[in-house]
Amino acid sequence: MQKLYPLAGKFAHPEHINTNSCRGNSVIVQVLSVAAAEESFNGMTHVEVLISDNGEGMPEEMHDKIFELFFTTKIAKLGIGLGLPINKESMEDHGGSISVSSIVGKGFDLFSLFPI
């Protein structure tokens, strides 16, 4: 894999971009656009976006299950388990990837590697 370059200097604190789910897509698109247009990153092929929370986390045995079709932890009518499986397949089809890391009681990290 090629070296990943940080986008330091493009945002005041890129490691702490706080947003909600409605604005999250806009922030990610802006980060990817800046990376793709940045001439000083010659040869850069991917941008990694890390989304973290400080919630209750999830057990390791669930890490792969969240990418299975129709798996959900949400109550009825709030989700049917298609979002992450569809995103994972789309990312992989375009040369990217998506993965998780979580420890019960320590929160959740979602790593997305976007091709540019």
Q: Cβ distance 14 to 6 under 8 Å? A: yes
* Predicted confidence (pLDDT) at residue 71 exceeds the cutoff of 60: yes
Its pTM stands at 0.65
Q: What is the full DSSP assignment across 57-108? A: ---GGGTTGGGSTT---SPTTS--S-HHHHHHHHHHHTT-EEEEEEETTTEE
Q: What is the pLDDT of residue 14?
A: 46
* Predicted confidence (pLDDT) at residue 104 exceeds the cutoff of 80: yes
The residue that leads in pLDDT, 115 or 29, is: 115
In the chain, the domains with their CATH numbers are 14-115 (3.30.565.10)
Who's near 46: CB < 8 A, 6+ residues apart?
Answer: 1, 2, 4, 95, 96, 113, 114, 115, 116
Please state the rounded mean pLDDT for residues 5-21.
47
The residue that leads in pLDDT, 21 or 13, is: 21
The residue that leads in pLDDT, 87 or 25, is: 87
